Amino acid sequence: MTNDKLECILMSKVYTTQELIKILAAERQACLNGKRLKLEIPVSGNPVIDQFLMTDGLQQFTAYQDFKAAIHEYQRENQVSGIIWREVTVKGKNLNYPEVDSELIALTSDLEILKTAKNSIVEFWYEVSMGMDLYLSFNNNKQYQKIVTSDVERIVQITEWASLCKWENSNFLEMILQLGWGKPEEACYKRGRPQSGSEYIHAVNPGNRPIG
């Protein structure tokens, strides 16, 4: 889909957060299937280098990134929230909490919602991770350093918002607490630092190592 066609579609009405998520999912699938290509992307011109470049994959990726950028601009212009609500159940305890969808951006008002929810998310994580071993991940989650609760508290104090992730089966539980600052859509990437970023705290049963 070209950006001109996208603009015509989006001008027809104000879409909801869930509708934008569905639109992006459909476009992402179309790009993966090779139905969307940004054909003006050149190869390097060097035959030695070109043989290693997956040109179609690069074109598909760039086409989707352009499409997603147009959706993000639409969000800003129409003030369409990027927040979705998650529910997590651990050890019989439940929590509903806000999170920015991975394909959308956070509006200024979304950031305020995330900041307001931070304490309840952190308190829930503390409650369900009591007695578990704690690890701080680094090097893109390839390495882990064992830490203690006071270390977590220091990170909590210097971050703005929080999110959760759970890995669980019949004999394993890992609760990941993401503590971030700045824009959530940039927090996972080192290119967002220092303005945006996050730290990940992994809680696992004693003797286990993180897998998430």
SS3 164: strand
Q: So where are the chain's domains?
A: 12-78, 84-204
Exposed/middle/buried for 62, CB within 10 Å: 0-12, 13-18, 19+? middle
Q: Which residues does 66 contact at the CB level (< 8 Å), separation at least 6? A: 3, 38
The single residue listed with the structure tokens 């969808």 is 101
Is residue 188 a contact partner of residue 144, using CB atoms and an 8 Å limit? no
CA atoms within 13 A on the CB side of 185: 17
Q: Which residues does 207 contact at the CB level (< 8 Å), separation at least 6? A: 133
Q: What is the pLDDT along the chain (212 residues), one digit of tens a residue?
A: 555 556 555 666 789 999 999 999 988 888 777 665 443 434 444 554 444 444 455 566 677 888 899 999 999 999 999 999 999 999 999 999 999 999 999 999 999 999 999 999 999 999 999 999 999 998 877 899 999 999 999 999 999 999 999 999 988 999 999 999 999 999 977 677 889 999 999 999 999 999 97
* Integer angstrom CA distances of residue 137 from 18, 91, 144: 32, 24, 4
